[in-house]
Structure 1
């Protein structure tokens, strides 16, 4: 029996009882992942981890980072600080914001565990086997998978999509990467040296797992325009886009400020344009230009989220 047929049977069996009290859409939730790009999530493990499921090459990666590591904060009053001093591990939104800034890449999903969850090769292998098993879809639909999870913003529909991809991953395609290997001495207060990791190094590491083949094939030229009025916002947005393979050709500062980020182009149907709109949660506006020039105009909404 094919895996698809098994899932279909499980779905129908589960929904037979569930649809009496829930609508299917409400129960499954809205998908935030197109399955073509890498899936990324922060895990509140010890040490903290970023999970990445990449399609090509196919692999499941866990990037771990010690909470005693110093990172650049973007705050002029305290330019660097330890991860542990900056986060509350029980707050998913705070975790995704911090690590998005640290890696200079878009990280929106999170998983918060009920108890302190250690992460090592043995645990990673166990999680993989549980979540890629044929029983996983049924467990997801009935709410019985992830009993150790306190909170997550990963919807059931995306959990099912994850399973569909995970079942084709092999154990030897699991990678557990300790980012402490990139630590170096950085100057702290009173010329004191502490161990930290440069954000540009983290960006370079994560980008190799986020690159989207559909984006690199189109190779559209993207111009980023900082219309937020805050210095550094344009570069952060450009780094978010570049991490998935977008070709950034210019970063400009606009004289007039805007509240909402938007994309302006005549190539509204291009994959890269639609993908960027999903990353920045913004509208796509038509341009009268005859070429495929794409302008990503960054507004105060993006700036206020990260600065």
Structure 2
């Protein structure tokens, strides 16, 4: 009888142990995402494009540029009209801002988020770190007025509002697309929490003189950016204070068959605070994305070099070379425009 009872017992794990194991696994997965994907340090210049896209009949579609430098306690929030014509790279030419993300969804190499981010970079001449696309029914959306921005900050960017901000990002059912890691989103929340509303410069491009209306051949009215006018109102809103303070002399070399590439990237570097002293074209094409040459090994750890490596995939050439007029030479190659 005893022998039968011994064999009839079925080994089983207590429910508490199973729950504990599941919680541990979830914590480890979240911790892995926090540690492994963060590229931003939380204090340098961080710029994103934030778009809301709805599939409803109203066709809600909002766009903003948000940029912050936590170490300087300053930020800029720019409302962008969806009927703005963007210069879309990779051979796409110009498209309405409202259509670029959808266009990118058909591009398996780049995707919608990267295409809208790079289109903003190309059009505005500003370095972008990331994108956040709030799709159908996502609770947090871009706002279009200063009053709405004040309310958004009060509601979501305080200790009492942290769950309003983070919960949608943690909810697997939420509908969004981003290349910003969970840790970076938390650091962004904390940086916005720490600044006052009066330290956020609010700009609605519709209320400025930087746009001009153009009628396309099919009768559609679009808006185009006037770059020189834009520079007048945002010249000092996107620089990184450390890169500007370093004042490193930069030479940008176009080693591709794409015209004006050196000038376009120089503008991005200048908005970031870089000191571009020379723009040239190479006699031979470069296959890699953007090799970096320096005149002094101490420059290898500079904020500028770190930014180029992190955001553009540039690689530092080991040998120190002599450069006539600059401290750093950036060679833009074929993979830079692919």
TM range (shorter): 0.7 to 0.9
Structure 1 residues 97-112: aligned runs within 5 Å = 97-112=118-133
CA deviations on 1:199-242 (whole Å, 9 max, x unpaired) are 44445544422111111111110000111222122112212211
Q: Which residue of 2 aligns with 1:262?
A: 291
Q: 1:95: Cα distance to partner?
A: 1.5
Distance of 1:196 and 1:84 partners within structure 2: 14
The residue that corresponds to 1:53 in the other structure is 68
Matched, 1:133 2:158: yes
Q: TM-score, normalised by structure 2?
A: 0.72
Q: Does the 8 Å contact 1:42/1:111 carry over to 2?
A: yes
CA contact (8 A) 2:46 2:69 kept: yes
- The match for 1:6 is none
1:52 counterpart SS class: strand
Give, in angstroms, the shift of residue 186 of structure 1.
Answer: 5.2
Q: In 2, are the aligned partners of 1:183 and 1:196 still within 8 Å (CA)?
A: yes
Structure 1 residues 106-125: aligned runs within 5 Å = 106-115=127-136, 117=141, 119-120=143-144, 121-125=146-150
- Give the alignment of 1:166-205 within 5 angstroms: 166-180=192-206, 181=208, 182-185=210-213, 189=217, 195-202=223-230, 205=233
Tell me if the contact between 1:103 and 1:206 (Cα under 8 Å) persists in the aligned partners: no
Of 223, 246, 254 in structure 2, the residue corresponding to residue 226 of structure 1 is: 254
2:241 to 194, 205, 213: 213
Q: Is the counterpart of residue 82 in structure 1 residue 96 in structure 2? A: yes
Q: Distance in 2 between matches of 1:143 and 1:81?
A: 29
Residue 293 of structure 1 aligns with which residue? Answer: 327
The Cα of 1:72 is off from its aligned counterpart by: 4.7
* Counterpart secondary structure, 2:44: coil
What is aligned with 1:38?
A: 45
What does residue 238 of structure 1 align with? 266
Instruction: Answer whether contact 1:69 1:83 (CA < 8 A) is retained.
Output: yes
Of 254, 278, 297, which residue of structure 1 is paired with 2:310?
278
Structure 1 unaligned spans of 5+: 1-14
CA deviation profile, 1:272-299 (whole Å, cap 9, x unmatched): 2223332322111134336772100111
> Do the aligned residues in 2 keep the contact of 1:223 with 1:249 (CA within 8 Å)?
yes
User: Aligned equivalents of 2:306 and 2:35: distance in 1?
Assistant: 23
Aligned residue in 2 for 1:152: 178
Bigger Rg, structure 1 or 2: 2
Shift, 1:264, TM fit: 0.7
> How many residue pairs are counted as aligned between the two chains?
289
The corresponding residue for 2:14 is none
Structure 1 length normalisation: TM-score?
A: 0.78
Q: Secondary structure of the equivalent of 1:105?
A: coil
CA distance in 2, matches of 1:273, 1:124: 34
Shift in CA distance, 275/83, structure 1 to aligned 2, threshold 3 Å: closer
Report what 2:18 is aligned to: none
- Aligned residues: CA RMSD: 3.6
| Aligned mates of 1:65, 1:114 — CA distance in 2 | 17
User: What SS does the corresponding residue of 1:289 show, helix, strand or coil?
Assistant: coil
Q: Distance in 2 between matches of 1:135 and 1:175?
A: 24
Q: Do the aligned partners of 1:30 and 1:155 also contact (CA within 8 Å) in 2?
A: yes
The corresponding residue for 1:5 is none
Moved more, 130-139 or 52-61: 130-139
